[in-house]
Amino acid sequence: MLDERELQIKERIQERYDITEQIYSAWFTENSAVLLPSNRFYQKENIEKYRAISYLLDRGYIVAQPVENDPETVAVTITPDGIDFYEQGYLNGKANGFQVVEEIKNKE
């Protein structure tokens, strides 16, 4: 059985995969970027999500750039490394951290 720290880690991993999945899915559509208001993307009031986004940006898995003529909006795209991160995690089963957490919580 996972301890509390392991559960936190799995939840954080899943948060990163969830964010990456949304941007990955957009990449393969007509509009390859996700457009979001800056304050909604960075979500400083939700520290876990903010740290997950910061991690993805710092690792170079995603890129966020201000939209020309609209400084309050960012265009978020996935990088080649981000595509590899998501696809390898998905295929290796690493992208199901939250599923594991939910299964454990449901057993309790």
Number of domains in the chain: 1
Q: Is residue 9 part of a domain?
A: yes
Asked if the structure places residue 108 within a domain, the reply is no
* CB 85 within 8 Å of CB 20: yes
- The pLDDT of residue 63 is 97
Position 64 in a domain: yes
Residue 11: exposure state from Cβ atoms within 10 A (0-12, 13-18, ≥19): middle
Domain of residue 71, CATH code: 1.10.10.10
What is the domain range of residue 42?
A: 4-102
Is 107 contained in some domain?
Answer: no
CA 105 to chain centre: 22
Q: Which residues pair with 62 in a beta bridge?
A: 78
Distance CA 70, CA 104 (A): 44
Backbone phi and psi for residue 15, each to the nearest 5 degrees, phi listed first: -60, -45
pLDDT tens readout for residues 15-51: 999 999 999 999 999 888 999 999 888 888 889 999 9
Indicate whether this model's pTM tops 0.85.
Answer: no
